[in-house]
C-alpha cells in the first residue's frame, strides 16, 4: 500500500486512514447526436442505443418494497442483426441468487417482447432472446414485471432507519460493443457499471409521508387515499436512482440556474447539511463553467448521518454527512465524469474516479506539488489504468485511483500549462458529451494539444 494519505477536502492537509476509507466508499450515470456536444466523438459502435425506459412502481407502507412494470424500447446501432439483449439486475450484486428463504432483491417476471433465459453472472444478468433479428437502425421493445425489495444494509441499495436508498435498483440493459456483451461481475470494492445515455420516464406511487428524491425533473400529485404520485423525466442519463423516507427538504437555485434540492434525515448534522448545500451549489456552477454547462436542470442531495461515504447517480447523490460535511464536491464532479462523459467503470475506473477527484482537488485548492512518486507504487503490476478485476483482487491498492490518479492529472496540468489543461478538459468533455470515452481517447486528446511527446509522462504515471 502507498504511504500517501488523501488530502483534506477543505484545508489541503492530508487525512487519516479512516477518512480515506470514507472517501473510498464515496464511489464509488431525446436529442439526436447531431444536436448535442459529442456528435463528433469516434468510438466503437455501442448497442442497443437510444434507449427509453418507461417505469411504473408502487411502494409498500414504508418504501421497502416496490412492484410494477417496466418497458424498455431501443434501437440496434450495430451493423449486425441484434438477436438478444441482456438486462442487468445490479441490485442483486451483494446477495446474488439468494436462498430459498431469502430470494434475490430484484426479481423480473412476465417478460414480453422476447423470451427470457435463465439468470447468469450470479443473478445479475438476464438474457432475453428477441423474436426475430433486429436489423441495423430498427427499434423494438421488451417489457417485464419487476419487484424490488430493499435489503437490510446501509448501502447504495439499502436502508438506514426509516430511509430507503434505491441506487442500481432499476434493471438496465447491458452494452454490446467491439468487445462483445459486457457482462462483468458485480464488485463491492468499486463499480462495475457501464450503460449508455438513455431516456427515463418513471412513475412512483408511494405513501404521502415519504418524500421521494429521484433522478431527473420531478413533480408530485395526489394519488389514492394517503398516497402521492412522484413523476420523473430524465433525458440522456445512464441510470436512475431514488430514495424514500420522511426527509426534511430545502430547495435553492444556483446563480447558474440549476435547481439544487436537499433532502436530509432529522438526525443529520445541521452544520454538515449547510456545508453540503453551500458547496453543492458552488460546485455545480463551477464545474459547469470548467467542463460544460450542467444539462439536467436539477440535482438532489440526499443526506443522512450513517450512510458510508457517498454514491453518485445522474442528478442525485447519496451523502454520508457529519458536522464536517461530506464528499459532495467529489460526487457532483461525477455528474460530468461518468454521467455526461461516460466510461466503462469496470474496465477503466480511473476515468471517472480520478477525474472526479482531480476536480475536487481544484475546487478546494489542494497543493498537489510532489503529491506522488514512482516509489509509491506498491508493485510492478499496479497501474492507474487497471480494471476492477485487478482492484477487486487487490482491494488494499484501490486507493490509487483516488491518490495517484488526481496527482497524475495535476502533473499533466503542470506539464501542459493550466490554460491548456483547462481547454483540453472542456474540449474532451464536449467531444464525448453523452458518449463513452476510453483511456486511449484521453491520451490522444492530451497529445493533440501539445508538441511535447507525452509517452514518458504516460509511462511514469502508469497510464497504459
Q: How far apart are CA 400 and CA 384, in angstroms?
A: 7
| Whether domain 17-29+248-333 has CATH 3.40.50.300 | no
> Which pLDDT belongs to residue 6?
42
Element (H, E) at 146: strand 139-149
Range of lowest pLDDT (14-23, 142-151, 190-199, 257-266): 14-23
Q: How far apart are CA 35 and CA 322, in angstroms?
A: 42
Banded model confidence at residue 374, pLDDT cuts 50, 70, 90: confident
> Which pLDDT belongs to residue 44?
53
Q: How far apart are CA 300 and CA 213, in angstroms?
A: 7
17-29+248-333 and 48-244: identical CATH topology: no
Q: How far apart are CA 350 and CA 299, in angstroms?
A: 24
Contact (CB, 8 A) for 298 and 314: no
Q: How far apart are CA 186 and CA 121, in angstroms?
A: 8
> Which pLDDT belongs to residue 101?
87
- pLDDT tens profile 92-120: 999 999 998 899 999 999 999 999 999 99
Return all residues near 143 (Cβ < 8 A) that are at least 6 apart: 69, 70, 71, 72, 111, 112, 113
Q: What is the mean pLDDT of residues 218-233?
A: 97
- pLDDT tens profile 19-34: 344 444 443 333 333 3
Return all residues near 239 (Cβ < 8 A) that are at least 6 apart: 29, 168, 170, 172, 193, 195, 215, 313, 314
Cell numbers that stand for 8 in this block: 483534506
- Say if strands 198-207 and 227-237 run parallel, antiparallel, or are unpaired: antiparallel
Q: Rounded to 10 degrees, what is the CA torsion of 420, 426, 427, 433? A: 160
CATH topology of domain 48-244: Immunoglobulin-like (2.60.40)
Residue spans of the domains in the chain: they are: 17-29+248-333, 48-244, 350-460
Residue 212 CB burial class (10 angstroms; 0-12, 13-18, ≥19): buried
- pLDDT tens profile 10-67: 434 333 333 344 444 443 333 333 334 443 444 458 999 999 999 999 999 999 999 9
* CA distances, 341 to each of 6, 18, 335, 419, 427 (Å): 25, 30, 8, 21, 11
Contact (CB, 8 A) for 84 and 183: no
- pLDDT tens profile 286-321: 999 999 999 999 999 999 999 999 999 999 999 999
Range of lowest pLDDT (10-14, 205-209, 268-272, 447-451): 10-14
Q: How far apart are CA 277 and CA 53, in angstroms?
A: 31
> Which pLDDT belongs to residue 222?
97
Return the percentage of the chain with pLDDT > 70, whole number.
91
- Say if strands 298-304 and 316-320 run parallel, antiparallel, or are unpaired: parallel
Average pLDDT along the chain: 92
> Which pLDDT belongs to residue 2?
29
Q: What is the mean pLDDT of residues 218-242?
A: 97
Amino acid at each position: 500500500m502507498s504511504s500517501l494519505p488523501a488530502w483534506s477536502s477543505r484545508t489541503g492537509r492530508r487525512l487519516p486512514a479512516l477518512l480515506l476509507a470514507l472517501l473510498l466508499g464515496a464511489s464509488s450515470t431525446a436529442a439526436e447526436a447531431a444536436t448535442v456536444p459529442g456528435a463528433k466523438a469516434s468510438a466503437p459502435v455501442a448497442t442497443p442505443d437510444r434507449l427509453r425506459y418507461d417505469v411504473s412502481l408502487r411502494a409498500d407502507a414504508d418504501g421497502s418494497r416496490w412492484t410494477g412494470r417496466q418497458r424498455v424500447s431501443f434501437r440496434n446501432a450495430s451493423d449486425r442483426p441484434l438477436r438478444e439483449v441482456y438486462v442487468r439486475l445490479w441490485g442483486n450484486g451483494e446477495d446474488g441468487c439468494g436462498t430459498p428463504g431469502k430470494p434475490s432483491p430484484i426479481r423480473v417476471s412476465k417478460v414480453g417482447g422476447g423470451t427470457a433465459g435463465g439468470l447468469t453472472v450470479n443473478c445479475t444478468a438476464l438474457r432475453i432472446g428477441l423474436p426475430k433479428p433486429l436489423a441495423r437502425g430498427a427499434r423494438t421493445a421488451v417489457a417485464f414485471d419487476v419487484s424490488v425489495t430493499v435489503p437490510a444494509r446501509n448501502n447504495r441499495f439499502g436502508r438506514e432507519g426509516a430511509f430507503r436508498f434505491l441506487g442500481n435498483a432499476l434493471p438496465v440493459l447491458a452494452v454490446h460493443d467491439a468487445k462483445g456483451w459486457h457482462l462483468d461481475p458485480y464488485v463491492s470494492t468499486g463499480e462495475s457499471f457501464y450503460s449508455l445515455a438513455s431516456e427515463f420516464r418513471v412513475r412512483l406511487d408511494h405513501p404521502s409521508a415519504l418524500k421521494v428524491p429521484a433522478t431527473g425533473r420531478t413533480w408530485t400529485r395526489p394519488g389514492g387515499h394517503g398516497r402521492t404520485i412522484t413523476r420523473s423525466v430524465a433525458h440522456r442519463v445512464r441510470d436512475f436512482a431514488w430514495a424514500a423516507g420522511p426527509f426534511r427538504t430545502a430547495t435553492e437555485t444556483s446563480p447558474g440556474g440549476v435547481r439544487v434540492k436537499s433532502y436530509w434525515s432529522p438526525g443529520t448534522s445541521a452544520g454538515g447539511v449547510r456545508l453540503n448545500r453551500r458547496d453543492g451549489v458552488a460546485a455545480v456552477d463551477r464545474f459547469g463553467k470548467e467542463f460544460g454547462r450542467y444539462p439536467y436542470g436539477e440535482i438532489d442531495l440526499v443526506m443522512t448521518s450513517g450512510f458510508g461515504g457517498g454514491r453518485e447517480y445522474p442528478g442525485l447523490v447519496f451523502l454520508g454527512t457529519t458536522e464536517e460535511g461530506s464528499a459532495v464536491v467529489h460526487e457532483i464532479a461525477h455528474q460530468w465524469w461518468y454521467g455526461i462523459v461516460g466510461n466503462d467503470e469496470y474496465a477503466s475506473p480511473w476515468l471517472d474516479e480520478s477525474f472526479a477527484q482531480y476536480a475536487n482537488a481544484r475546487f478546494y485548492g489542494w497543493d498537489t506539488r510532489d503529491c506522488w512518486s514512482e516509489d509509491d507504487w506498491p508493485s510492478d503490476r499496479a497501474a492507474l489504468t487497471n480494471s476492477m478485476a485487478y482492484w477487486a483482487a487487490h482491494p488494499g491498492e484501490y486507493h490509487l485511483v483516488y491518490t495517484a490518479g488526481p496527482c497524475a492529472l495535476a502533473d499533466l496540468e503542470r506539464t501542459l500549462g493550466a490554460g491548456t489543461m483547462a481547454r483540453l478538459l472542456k474540449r474532451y468533455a464536449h467531444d464525448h458529451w453523452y458518449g463513452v470515452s476510453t483511456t486511449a481517447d484521453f491520451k490522444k486528446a492530451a497529445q493533440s494539444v501539445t508538441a511535447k511527446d507525452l509517452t514518458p509522462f504516460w509511462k511514469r504515471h502508469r497510464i497504459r
